[in-house]
Amino acid sequence: MTEPLLRIENLILRFPDPQREGGVLTALDGVSLDVAPGEILGLVGESGSGKTTLGKTALRLYEPEAGRILLHGRDIAHLSEASLRPHRRAMQMVFQDPLSSFNPRQSIATAIATPLLLHRLCPKAEVPARVLAILEEVGLPAAFAPRYPHQMSGGQLQRAAIGRALALSPELIVADEAVSKLDVSVRAQILNLLRDVQRRANLAMIFITHDLHVARFLCHRVAVMHFGKLLEIGPTEQVFGHPRHDYTKALIGTLRRPAKEGGDPP
């Protein structure tokens, strides 16, 4: 068994409850899971079940109240921002809305170049060539380099967002509803791109989605969240074919079309 890249143990995270003065809302209620190098783990569950909170906490965009986040065996759950810095590069996030994750006044080339320079990943003179190579990797011709976010479609921007994350050679990407805002016609292209880059770089990915067809197409294992808890986790075909919990059965009850590994994306 390969050592996990990421191991999460008994994570607890609460937010203040806007409905009740002084009340708290338990967004993560003792969540534990592993992600292996090169694995795509799907995170499914209804709205408010804690998927985004879990993804952000795994990347230490939130600090958990309790529990451990082991990255290569090192607990990063309570590291200071300064101590986290060397780990940040290894963990990237791709969001639902690519437009809001880009600075409107920055060209795509600058948006990709900035983290390269910040993390000193590439000598300054080589940055323009590196940016073009990254664009090519995500299927964007060089002509896109000088463009601004508003001059690009949602699908093109999501390609650029994936490129910006890849530029840092991460080991883990959390993709949060990364295709759900896109037109149906480009969703499959972006899903294929995610799968290709994941395979090429042996990236681990936590893929958060409402769409069970997408989860079944893309993910090696699937975890089902419900009210801040992990209800079940297992190989994709096992969870879809033989769900253990009634909740999972109800959730996948709407799924009819079988999807096979290597098949066409939904």
Ligand X SMILES: Nc1ncnc2c1ncn2[C@@H]1O[C@H](COP(=O)(O)OP(=O)(O)OP(=O)(O)O)[C@@H](O)[C@H]1O
Interface residues toward ligand X, by CB under 6 A: 15, 25, 27, 45, 47-53, 210
Burial 82-115 (b: 16+ CB within 10 A, else e): eebeebbbbbbbbbbbbeebbeeeebbbbbbbeb
Judged by CB under 5 A, the stretch of 51-59, 84-92, 193-201, 241-249 that binds Mg ion is 51-59
Number of alpha carbons in the 13 Å side-chain half-sphere of residue 263: 13
For the CB of residue 96, give the shortest distance to Mg ion in the complex, in Å: 8
Expressed in percent and rounded to 5, the helix, strand and coil fractions of the chain are 40, 25, 40
For Mg ion, which is the closer residue by CB, 144 or 207? 207
Judged by CB under 5 A, the stretch of 2-10, 28-36, 50-58, 227-235 that binds Mg ion is 50-58
Asked if 52 interacts with Mg ion (CB under 5 A), we say yes
10 Å CB burial of residue 146 (0-12, 13-18, 19+) is exposed
Residue 158 contact among ligand X, Mg ion, none, beta carbon within 5 to 8 Å by kind: none
Residue 70 contact among Mg ion, ligand X, none, beta carbon within 5 to 8 Å by kind: none
For ligand X, which is the closer residue by CB, 68 or 229? 229
For Mg ion, which is the closer residue by CB, 27 or 140? 27
Dist. CA 197–CA 181, nearest whole Å: 20
Residues that bind Mg ion (CB under 5 A): 52
